[in-house]
Each structure stands twice: as structure tokens, then as C-alpha cells.
Chains A and B, each alone.
Chain A
Amino acid sequence: MTELDVATPAPPALAKLPLDALHRRLGARMAPFAGYDMPLQYEAGIVAETLHTRRAASLFDVSHMGQAILGGAGAARALESLTPADLISLARERTRYTQLLNETGGILDDLLVTRLPGVEERLLLVVNAARKQADFALITAALPQFDFNPLDRALLALQGPRAAAVLGALLPGAEDLAFMGWRAFDFGGAPLFVSRSGYTGEDGFELSLRADHAEDLARLLLAHEDVAPAGLGARDALRLEAGLPLYAHDLDETTDPVEAGLSWSIGKRRRAEGGFPGFERIHSALEQAPARKRVGLLPRSKAPLREGAELYASTDVVGHVTSGGFSPTLQCPIAMGYVASKHANVGATLSATLRDKRIEVDVAALPFVAHRYFKTPVGKDAR
């Protein structure tokens, strides 16, 4: 059989996560990802881990992601020169999603930016693992007058409808954080950064803390009956079900934020003022509608359609699949990809070749599984 290479012992060059020993004790199957030896799945398996996240709560180790602080008066305005988000208006203890863009508006990476509390202007950045060296080099070269400090911290994600109750019992007040809100708590005498965010479509939190404290926190969370560990496989299934693009698959230097369906993350002021790389392309894409769009795809087959498959309207290639797999929640194959705008309306039927068979593929609305992010109740902390 092919594809059994996940069992090959990792070469020593792979970096280890701070929770490496815990993952192995929990029975994780490890696999290389972005230079790290990562838990692909635990004993429950990808399907069970995905369903558990939608039903209760799962703990993911995402410590491979890059974390850094950009500091100095005017840091938010300066970072706007690399991204299309409105960062000047970003309030303290609030997080915003954006992208680093190249000169033609292509996406170099997508990232989260949090304005940290305090008088000093400091931004916490969380970027993709495979892109962190390139991102950090770009930011330090473009903004040399600012302090830039990569953080060697662990990052855990607690995701699912039970996440708030579980975390709130451990860190009172965490359950009241607004969606994309952020707060520093104390854990073991050191700051634990809690952000109400994630990449599963569920309510949940991302928890950044000292690497040597990560196992204590993970054990406390996993001791709760509602919490189970989940690996990269489930994370990928969850984000695909939630219609969320993954860098290097659905986003890259050839895609711009408008065709990627990320226009919502481009600040209103920025659309008018510009001042970010690729403004001309993005401005015209916003005005005239893009030539192609990222869409959901439902293959009319039992077999999943995988990344790279071409999409046809009669005999013309009109797009391609950028992520494809099987949805544990919907129990059917799902995919996303880019399709020429003319053929990208929900309900349009395209076709693809799967091995030697022609299959029909319906353009579908994203997300496949509705988002259930936390909505702040009236009268509660609305930060």
C-alpha cells in the first residue's frame, strides 16, 4: 500500500513540541508538519476527535505556530503598511484577523493581531508555522525601527461548545470574554494569554503560556470529563467543515484576499486610503468583483475529491480543488477550491475526474457546518 509513510520514525531534524512527551503518553500518532513532529491523531481517531470537538471540547497543541510581539509607538500604523486590516482602530485586548501581502496583493501568510493592554503600543502576532521565519524576516526588514521579539511560548487551543464552561472553572472570567477578545490571566505565577478564538468554527480559546507550564495546563484541562485531545487531522477536518482557508492550500502568494473570500477582513478605511502592498489589484477586485472565487464544493460521489483536482464546465477547466476530504460531521465528502466567477454561483454543477471516473461536483455555500462562535449576551463584558 502507499501512504503508510506516516509511520516512519521522524528524522531527528524535526522540532519537538513542548508537549511531545504528553502526546506520546496519550497514544498520539506523530507526523511531520512544518518542520515539527506533530500529533496527527490520538487513539480515538480523526472522525471521533472531530465529532467530540463539535459535541464537547477538544484540546489541540498548536505550539508550532509563530508568536511574536511588535512594539513601539506607531506599531499598529506601521504594520498597516504590510496588511489590509484596520489596525489603528484595534482596541486594547482585541484580536483581528488579517494577511501579510506581497506587492501584487498575493497572500504571504494569514495571521492574528492582538493589541496588548498597557500604555505602550504592543501588538501580539500569531502566524503559521511554515511561514514564521519568512514573516519575521519580512517584518523586521520592513519595520526596523520597532522592537520585534519572537516568543518561545506554547500555544494550546481548547475548542468546542463546552470549552467556555471548562476554562471558566479554571480561570474565572474567561467564559465572559467576547469573541476575538483577549485577556492575560495568571497561571503558575506567569501570564497566560487567553484569546476567544480558534479555527474550528466552534466557540473556543487559544491559550499562550510559558512552554514549561504547558503540560500542567494541558493535564488540568484533559482531566475534565468533557475534554479530549485532538490532533492535526481533526483540526484540518474541522476547519474544512467550517469553510476556513488553510495557508499553503487555499491561500498562497497567487491568491488575493478578495477572491479568497476574505474581503470582510479588509478595513473600510483601508479600502479608501490604501497604503498596503497590492492595493491596486485589491481595490479593483473589490470594485469589479474578482475573476475567480473560493467556493465550497460537494462532490456527488462517495469518494473524497482531493487537493489538486481540476474542475470542469463541460470540457473547459474552470477551477481546481485546494482542500478536499471527508466530513465526519456530515458523513460525506466535502471540498473547497477556486472557480471562475462565472461558474462559481451556489448550485452550479461542475465536474471533476476522480481516478478514471467523471463525477459531478456542486458548488456549495460555505461554511458546510455553521459557525457557533460566542455571542456576547447583553449586559456582559463586551470587550
Chain B
Amino acid sequence: MSDRRYSKDHEYVALDGNVATLGISDYAQSQLGDIVFIELPDVGRKVAKGKEIAVIESVKAASEVYSPVGGEVVEVNPQLGETPALVNEDPLGRGWLVKLRVSDPGECDSLMDEPAYSEFLKTL
């Protein structure tokens, strides 16, 4: 998945056609610690770029997830209701959060690619 792109807020999107799979980075899951609940949006909801799309509850705190691209929710990860810890175990794979039909695939271009995100993490 070389086309995975990251935001400075540690979300990623991986574009396949005009559908983006959205999740949080491995760095983000490790910083959150044990995830115990995830509030996901309803399918069909329209989300603008930069707006809240999900809420992740760890043992310590609630964290909002912002959508790095605008679009319409077409699917949410059905396994996270029972097993929110999948996001800790496999954030880039089975722990994805939401699939979005993106309104403007060009919005992904402003996001960081894998090497740029790795460099960005070193500055934190």
C-alpha cells in the first residue's frame, strides 16, 4: 500500500479508485494506549475535510479522529464494535476505521507519503 497518505494529526487514507480507507497511524495507536471503544459514523454521512469522523476511547481519554479528506461514508469496520483493540494490533490493516467515497481525490495530494510522515514523526 504505497499510496497510503498521512495527516499531521496522525490519520491515514489509502485511496483505491475514489474510495479511501481511513484509519490512524501506528504512532497514534501506540500513543493512545489500550483502545476500549470506538464511535463510528453512520453509513451515508457526509464529512468535510478536517471534520470529526470518529471518536476513539482509550482507558485514559477520548480522542477525536478528523477526516483528512472530504467525502461520504460508505462502510465502517464492523469488527471494531466487538474488538476495538484491533486498532492497537493492526492499525494499518484489520484496524481500519471507515471507508469514504471521496469528493475530491486531489485532496490526498496535500497529505504526507510514508517517508515524509516518518520524517515528520522524528520532529515530534
Contact = CB atoms under 8 A, between A and B. Distances in A.
A4 B32 contact: yes
A333 B37 CA distance: 10
Contact of A1 (B34, B56, B59, B60): B56
Given A46-B59, A355-B55, A303 B11 contact: no
Given A41-B33, A45-B33, A7 B124 contact: yes
A302 B33 contact: no
B37 A303 contact: yes
A233 B34 CA distance: 11
Contacts of A315: none
Interface string B35-60: 01101000000000000000111111
B61 to A, nearest CB: 5
Given A1-B66, A2-B64, A328 B31 contact: no
A237 B65 CA distance: 24
Nearest to B60: A233
A325 B58 CA distance: 9
A326 interface: yes
Given A1-B11, A303-B37, A326 B59 contact: yes
B37 A1 contact: no
B39 A325 contact: no
A3 B63 contact: yes
Given A46-B60, A325-B60, A303 B39 contact: yes
Contacts of A4: 9-10, 28, 31-32, 63
Contacts of A328: 34, 59
Contacts of A45: 33-34
A302 B63 contact: no
Nearest to A237: B59
A1 B57 CA distance: 12
Contacts of B56: 1
Given A47-B59, A325-B59, A3 B34 contact: no
Contacts of A3: 32, 61-64
Contacts of A326: 36-37, 57, 59
Q: How many A residues are at the interface, by size bracket?
A: 20 to 34
A210 interface: no
B77 to A, nearest CB: 15
Nearest to B39: A303
Contacts of A237: 59
Contacts of B32: 1, 3-4
B24 interface: yes
Contacts of A40: 60
A306 B11 CA distance: 24
Interface string A1-25: 1111011100000000000000000
A7 B63 CA distance: 14
A304 interface: yes
Interface centre among B60, B61, B64 (most CB of A within 10 A): B60
Contacts of B81: 302
A355 B55 CA distance: 10
A1 B36 contact: no
Nearest to B28: A1
Given A325-B59, A326-B59, A328-B59, A1 B64 contact: yes
Given A1-B63, A3-B62, A304 B37 contact: yes
Given A7-B31, A41-B33, A325-B59, 6 more contacts: A8-B124, A45-B33, A46-B33, A236-B60, A303-B37, A325-B60
Interface of A: 1-4, 6-8, 29, 40-41, 45-47, 233, 236-237, 302-304, 306, 325-326, 328, 333, 355
5 shortest A-B CB distances, which residue pairs?
A3-B63, A326-B36, A47-B34, A46-B59, A303-B37
20 contacts: A1-B10, A1-B11, A1-B28, A1-B65, A2-B63, A3-B64, A6-B31, A41-B33, A46-B34, A46-B58, A46-B60, A47-B34, A236-B60, A302-B36, A303-B37, A304-B37, A306-B61, A325-B60, A326-B57, A328-B34
